[in-house]
Chain A
């Protein structure tokens, strides 16, 4: 923490507009100052046992504007957006939405910090929507395996899935696929926070 110089910048009025804190404030409309660190979010978080930086600590690092440490935390990718913290926060704060914003920033500024599996999954999933308009499992799984390198996992289950009619082998494209692709492109232009 002592190595990170941005900790000293939070106190004064001259916070640079590119500070992580102001990026998140602008993107979400939420002010992390509302968090009084009671930890109720971490206490109810299903992934807390696996997180290096717990939910309330993520908000604390954000309050202190410790960009490098925060964007490097694996925890922000473990959030399930289960809405437990959102529902229970005494101050009506929304850690889940803040974590989404941090993910978006990390993707843009520090793509090297995105955990391989999770990053691969999201890319594969979104690719499916862009291609067909809907997600087809075979394509999703294949694409995910290629991106993540987890080639053998669940391979044994394929015949069983097939036998149960749970795999659609022929993906169909929706008619309005052009509009869906246009939505993707337009969103990419508007992505915040800058």
Chain B
């Protein structure tokens, strides 16, 4: 199966492990990721917070490039990129004024024919294959599936799964053999783009998420967005300092969990790049130690 690939800015550096693990898993699941040539940033929050037209024009350029490459769908692993691309596609179909403005900037010839999918949507199409490929027993792993605020909302734009009681991540996690837990903060925002500009808010919000996951019995949180990962992993130290949820909780990208279950090497999956050590999880499945050792947790 071929699908267009829009890594987004963070997957090249701060969330490198997301890109690494996703490519590794895609290869095993027979998903051919074709990167959109010469893609530019989707604009993230800074574009839509300052200029509506820019926030639609930038992603539209990417979709137009994908259409030229004859891709009928594009995967955007970052939930924020996914939401911006999907919103642009939606706006071009439903907001005549904006569509006209964007067309006057980018020119004609783009038919808005490219679909946009999230990693939840893509991998939930492959659960049968994941189940088949699962070699490493992850049974006993209690996993909190963290959707974050942008993966399935708003429902008209995303058009996938349920915007209040989603289940796509749970079905993927179940396919790996791990046990998804029922918890109540799966859609609550982690603080998004405020990591630098309002760090205190991120710490406050992230702590609530970690507490809820811990109370539900989770040992690990699985995420589908580099910002969520960064907020919950990189910023976890400050949350631990405030206390209230026990020991550190490892944060895995969905592709890393799937990769572990199908027996891929933890280094290849980038597990050594996390701030909160994933070693306790790896010890449970007897996986090789992740090198180099970076145990900069609490």
Direct contact of A and B (CB under 8 A): yes
A residues bordering B, Cβ < 8 Å?
27, 29, 46-47, 49-50, 77-78, 80-84, 86-87, 100-101, 103-104, 107, 117-118, 120-122, 125-126, 128-129, 133-137, 141, 144, 148, 150, 153-154, 157, 160-161, 163-168, 174-176, 179-180, 183-184, 186-188, 190-192
Assuming the A-B contacts A174-B38, A183-B58, are A164 and B294 also in contact, with contact meaning beta carbons closer than 8 angstroms in the complex?
yes
**Pick the contact of B50 from A78, A104, A136, A160 — CB < 8 Å?**
A104
Q: Which residues of A contact B16 (CB under 8 A)?
A: 165-166
- A interface secondary structure, majority: helix
Does chain A have a CB within 8 A of B189? yes
User: Is B205 in contact with A46, judged by CB distance below 8 angstroms?
Assistant: yes
Taking CB atoms, residues of chain A closer than 8 Å to B163 are 87
- Roughly how many angstroms separate A165 CA and B57 CA in the complex, as a whole number? 32
* B24: Cβ under 8 A from any A Cβ: no
B39 adjacent to A174 (CB under 8 Å): yes
Contact check, A174 vs B196: say whether CB atoms are below 8 A apart.
no
* Contact present for A186 and B105 (CB under 8 Å): yes
Q: What residues of chain B have their CB less than 8 Å away from a CB belonging to chain A? A: 9-10, 12-16, 38-41, 43-55, 57-58, 61, 83, 95, 97, 101, 104-106, 149-150, 153-155, 163-164, 187-189, 191-194, 196-199, 201, 204-205, 234, 272-275, 292, 294, 296
CB of A179 to closest CB in B, whole Å? 7
Q: Is the beta-carbon distance between B273 and A165 smaller than 8 angstroms?
A: yes
Q: A29-B97, A134-B40, A183-B105 are in contact. List 11 more A-B contacts (CB 8 A).
A: A49-B204, A82-B192, A83-B154, A87-B164, A136-B9, A136-B13, A164-B294, A166-B13, A176-B61, A187-B51, A191-B52
CB pair A87 B155 closer than 8 Å = yes
B48 contacts A100, C-beta separation under 8 Å: yes
Are B14 and A137 within 8 A (Cβ)?
Answer: yes
What is the bound-complex CA distance between A78 and B9, given in angstroms?
23
| Shortest Cβ gap from B179 to chain A (Å) | 28
Contact, CB under 8 Å: A120 / B50:
no
Asked if B97 and A117 make an inter-chain contact with CB atoms under 8 angstroms apart, the answer reads no
Q: Assess the B46–A190 pair: CB atoms within 8 A.
A: no
Asked if A163 contacts B106 (CB within 8 A), the reply is no
Interchain CB contact under 8 A, B273 and A166:
yes
Q: Across the interface, do B198 and A190 meet the contact criterion of CB distance under 8 Å?
A: no
| Given known contacts A80-B149, A183-B106, A117 and B14 CB-to-CB distance under 8 angstroms | no
* B53 touching A86, Cβ below 8 Å: no
The answer to whether B40 touches A120, judged by C-beta atoms less than 8 angstroms apart, is: no
How many whole Å from B62's CB to the nearest CB in chain A?
Answer: 10
Please give me the 10 A-B residue pairs with the lowest Cβ-Cβ distance, nearest first. Answer: A82-B149, A82-B189, A125-B46, A135-B9, A168-B13, A121-B197, A187-B54, A117-B197, A122-B46, A164-B273
Shortest Cβ distance from B237 into A: residue:
A157
Residue contact A87 to B54, C-beta cutoff 8 Å: no
20 chain-A/chain-B pairs, Cβ below 8 angstroms = A29-B95, A46-B188, A46-B191, A80-B189, A80-B193, A82-B189, A104-B49, A104-B51, A134-B9, A135-B41, A144-B197, A154-B196, A160-B296, A164-B272, A164-B275, A166-B13, A166-B16, A174-B39, A183-B57, A183-B58
